[in-house]
Amino acid sequence: MDLYGKFLKNVKFFQALPATEIEKISTVCREKHFGAGELIFAEGDPGDLFYIILSGAVEIWKNYKKSEQDLLVVYGPGQAFGELALIDDSYRSATTICREASVVLTIHREDFNSVLMNSTHISLSIMRSMAAMIRDNTAHFFEKQLYRALHDPLTGLPNRNFFYDRLEKIMNRTRGEEDCPYAVLYFDADRFNVINDSMGHVAGDKVLKAMSERLRSILMPTDILARFSGDEFAVLIEHKEHVREKAVHTAIRIREELQSPLEIDGQDIFITVSIGIVPGMSKYVSPSDVLRDADIAMYRAKHLGRGGYQIYDETLHDKRINLMRLENDLRGALERHEFILNFQPIISLKTNKIAGFESLVRWQHPERGIISPEIFIPIAEETGVILLLGKWILIESCRQLKLWIDRIPEPLFVSVNVSGKQFMEQNFVSIVKNALEETGLPGHCLKLEMTESVLIGNVEELAIMLRQIREMGIRIAIDDFGTGYSSLAYLNRFPIDLVKIDRSFVRQMSGKGKKNIIETIVSMAHLLNMEIVAEGVETNNHFHYLNDYGCEYGQGYYFSKPLSAEDADIFLDNGMMVPDMPE
């Protein structure tokens, strides 16, 4: 057997042929030489030739003009490609280029057909080989397609279809039983849009994959963890006894597992999830019914503070309907002038004098009365209403402070909360500048407050934006520090002027460890040239401890509740001193 015959013997089409028949085929083989980078054939060319690589390497591309994206496969010595060219003259669906200098053995379709016509044995053997290849490839294809149809391509987890199918089978099998032996947990990542908006969707995908790996490691082998879409996940638990308790235990395990940060691209990302739990009940007809109620329970968990779980009961359905109505009402509330601003004094702990105010928005609903921002702000962020509402709050806060400083000689500032979505607006710096120009408020009288979550990702871009804002004299504050995503060392990468210690730390100051935490935060902040505002100051002990630790400012009911603009006027008329400070 000649050199060509040895190569032909290794090609699947020819492996069943005896040496004498392979020699007949080798007589129609031709050797072609190609240089490195040379095009062998392009997408769209007729498929006239069958190729076997004698030496070198070639690569198959879907689009060789975008070679960094579309590499399909690399072929080396002894491998064959282009088999279909022996059967028909269909056009090539890909492009082949030499990765290095290569020698390729070619068989022209017409030459090969002449061999087939003169040898029945070869024809039958080729047909058998083709039938086997088609059968194997078809089975593999359908297995692959079935897997893709039932699994999430990003995480490899079962998808919604898989979950529905398995849940439906359990429901059908246990239909009529009083105690259904299954439960569904439905959850998503709280404020996941902040990660996507600030770090980008590639980083967001990495977070989802890392979450999936963490969760998969703590669940039982019989539990089914599925990713539905985006950051939505579900767990199906099947357990003969105490399935409700098992579901609650699983929810607690999930929450605990995610308490330690995920390391993504060198950053620690803290994730919490809100979980809705639905124990199986005989009333459910389809998986859609179960997941509808799990979704309702999940959103109830979010509105109770995020990071927790909620078991579904019938009253939650009515609450969800009310929430949907609230969302519809919110969309027109700004045009109907239903929002009002309150102002909570911020006190200098050294002088006991008013240093400024934090503006706090309230919704004066025509039927429901005052609605807390803890209820409507998350809805405003999800619906995008926060952009127009935030702009209105900024302008009206500046306008009100300008009225006060025009009649009071003492320096005052106003702190305005800014949503992460507002910072994502390309023209946010212009919006702030226009607010100052429209109201005439000096920049040094304005502080913008943002939460730590805004600082995730896009460090350079956000730092540039904050510097542009500071160039107007505006100061930048981090609100609720200690509850989320960053450290003081991380904050030092941004032009931050002031840190607000979350009220939860102040409230727990009776414990020695908690006092030490605040003392540490204050000391580190001062080393970084940042001032401190302590939120939630409610007792005389709070006031004295914070003053002793060197906090510059305090805010809380010990000094004053949030006030209407009219009541704040009276507060200011008191000579800037805190009136009737309780003991």
Residue 7 Cα distances to 30, 55, 77, 113, 264, angstroms: 13, 11, 9, 19, 48
- Is 583 a domain residue? no
Element (H, E) at 231: none
Domain co-membership, 307 together with 338: no
CATH code of the domain containing 192 = 3.30.70.270
Nearest partner of 309 among 297, 292, 293, judged by Cα: 297
Instruction: Give the residues across from 235 on adjacent strands.
Output: 185, 225
What CATH number has the domain bearing residue 427?
Answer: 3.20.20.450
Q: In total, how many domains does the chain have?
A: 3
Q: What is the DSSP string of 89-138?
A: -PBPSSEEEESSSEEEEEEEHHHHHHHHHT-HHHHHHHHHHHHHHHHHHH
Q: Are residues 135 and 164 in the same domain?
A: no
Residues 209 and 205: their CA atoms lie apart, in Å, by 6
DSSP labels for 34-67? E-TT-EEE-TTSB--EEEEEEES-EEEES-GGGT
pLDDT per position in the chain (583 positions), as tens? 566 777 777 776 677 677 777 888 888 888 899 998 888 888 777 777 778 888 888 888 877 666 555 778 888 887 777 654 444 556 677 788 888 999 988 888 778 777 777 766 666 666 665 556 556 656 666 677 778 888 888 898 999 999 999 999 999 888 877 678 899 999 998 878 777 777 778 888 899 999 999 999 999 888 999 999 889 999 999 987 888 899 999 999 998 898 888 888 888 888 889 999 999 888 888 999 999 999 888 988 887 777 889 898 877 776 677 777 888 888 889 889 999 999 999 999 988 889 999 999 999 999 889 988 988 888 888 788 899 999 999 999 999 999 999 988 888 999 999 998 888 888 999 999 999 999 999 999 999 999 877 776 667 788 889 999 999 999 999 887 765 545 666 677 888 999 998 888 887 776 555 557 788 888 888 888 899 999 999 988 888 889 888 899 999 999 999 999 999 998 888 765 664 554 4
Predicted local distance difference test score (pLDDT) of residue 86: 47
**Would you say 71 and 77 are in contact if contact means Cβ atoms under 8 Å apart?**
no
Statement to judge: residues 251 and 193 lie in one domain: yes
**39 and 78 co-located in one domain:** yes
Among candidate residues 221, 222, 230, 218, the one with its CA nearest the CA of residue 155: 230
Residue 135 has a pLDDT of 63
Nearest to 48 by CA among 89, 95, 94: 89
Instruction: Verify that 289 and 378 share a domain, yes or no.
Output: no
Quick one: pLDDT at residue 583?
Answer: 46
List the structure tokens of 189: 């990542």
Integer distance in angstroms from the first to the last C-alpha of the chain? 106
Q: What per-residue confidence (pLDDT) applies to 13? A: 66
User: What sign results for the dihedral spanned by CA atoms 391, 392, 397, 403?
Assistant: positive
Integer Cα distance of 532 and 162 in angstroms: 52
Note whether 213 and 340 are same-domain residues: no
Residues 42 and 117 in one domain: yes
pLDDT score recorded for residue 127: 60
Give residue 141's pLDDT.
62
Residues 374 and 277 occupy one common structural domain: no
What whole-number distance in Å separates Cα of residue 225 and Cα of residue 228? 10
Partners of 344 in the beta sheet?
358
Beta 95-98 vs 102-108: how paired, if at all? unpaired
Provide the whole-model pTM. 0.56
For 26, 28, 82, 524, the CA distances from 112, given in Å and listed in that order, are 10, 7, 13, 81
Q: In this structure, are 234 and 345 located in the same domain? A: no
Answer whether residue 321 is part of any domain: no
109 shares its domain with 64: yes
| 155 found inside a domain | no
Domain containing residue 189: 160-312
Alpha-carbon gap, residue 524 to 571, rounded angstroms: 33
